[in-house]
Amino acid sequence: MTDRMPKNAMVLAAGLGKRMRPLTETMPKPLVRVAGKTLLDWGLDSLAEVGVAKAVVNVHYFPEQIVAHVAGRSRPAVVISDESGGLLDSAGGIVKALPQLGADPFLVINADTFWIDRDRPNLERLALAWDAASMDILLMLADFSSATGHSGGTDFLADPDGRLRRAAGDPAGMIYAGAAIMHPRVFAAADAAPHSLNLYFDRAIAAGRLHGMKMEGRWITVGTPDAIAPAEAAVADAVAQDA
C-alpha cells in the first residue's frame, strides 16, 4: 500500500444494464456474478486491497438491491449516492457525489469491469504514476492482448511521456480499462446534470493533462450475458497460473 493512494473512490454503478438482459430484468448489472463474486464486489475488493477508505457508489436501477448488498461491508466504507430521481451519466454522477469525494484526487472505477493483477495491484501502480502537477486525469489502459470481453475498438494513443490523445480507430491504441484518478478541479462549476466523462477527457487532452498508465495482468469487461463464460475462464486461468 502506498501513502499516495487516494483515500476516496467513486464507483459508477447506476446504469440500466440493458445489454445484460434478461439477467438485468430482476437485478442491477453490478450484482451479476462472475466466478462467484458480484461485479460490484470485484471492484470494491480491489479498492479495499489498496487501502481506499471510502467508496461512493451511485445507484438508480433496483437501488434497494445494491443498498442491501453493500450494507455488510466495512472495507471500504460505502456511501450511497442516490440517483433514483434520474440517471446523471458518468460525469453527472461524479459531480453529484463531489461533496462526499472531497477536495483531493480520487479514484473512479466502473462497476462492470474488473481486472486480475499480476504482481503489484494495478490501482497501486496507478497511484504511484499520478502527478497532480502535470495531470488532471490519469486513466488505466489495457491493450487488446490483455482484454477479455471487449467488443469495441481502441480509445486512446499514448505519447512517450504518457499524454493521451484519441485513438480515432487506430489499432495501435489502447482501451480505457474503467479505472482512473481524477482531480476534483476538473469539475469546477459543473452541474449535477446528465453528461459524460468524455467531455472532461477531451478538455484534458486539449490542455495536455490527460495521461495514461498501461495496466498489467488481465482486464475483463462483462457487457452481455455471453461474456460471463469467457470472464470466468479468464479468472480460472489466472488462478491456475498463480497456483
Cα distances (angstroms) measured from residue 54 to each of 11, 75, 189: 10, 8, 24
Quick check: is 12 in a domain? yes
Helix (H) or strand (E) run with residue 40 in it? helix 39-49
Least confident window among 23-27, 80-84, 98-102, 151-155: 151-155
Describe the crossing of helices 63-70 and 39-49 by its angle, rounded to 10 degrees: 40
Quick check: is 1 in a domain? no
Across the range 25-42, mean pLDDT stands at 94
Across the range 56-85, mean pLDDT stands at 94
What CATH number has the domain bearing residue 216? 3.90.550.10
Sign of CA dihedral 241, 115, 55, 209: positive
Domain assignment of residue 98, given as a range:
8-242
For the record, the C-alpha cell of 4 comes out as: 499516495
Chain segment 214-224, per-residue pLDDT in tens: 999 999 999 89
Backbone angles phi, psi at 168, to 5 degrees: 50, 40
Chain segment 169-218, per-residue pLDDT in tens: 898 899 999 999 999 999 998 999 999 999 999 999 999 999 999 999 99
Quick check: is 49 in a domain? yes
Quick check: is 75 in a domain? yes
Quick check: is 23 in a domain? yes
Q: Give the C-alpha separation, 11 to 97, whole Å.
A: 10
> Where does the pLDDT of residue 243 fall: very low under 50, low under 70, confident under 90, or very high at 90 and above?
low
Quick check: is 3 in a domain? no
> Where does the pLDDT of residue 149 fall: very low under 50, low under 70, confident under 90, or very high at 90 and above?
confident
pLDDT at 1 over 70: no
> Where does the pLDDT of residue 89 fall: very low under 50, low under 70, confident under 90, or very high at 90 and above?
very high
* pLDDT score of 157: 96
Quick check: is 30 in a domain? yes
Domain count for the chain:
1
* pLDDT score of 4: 87
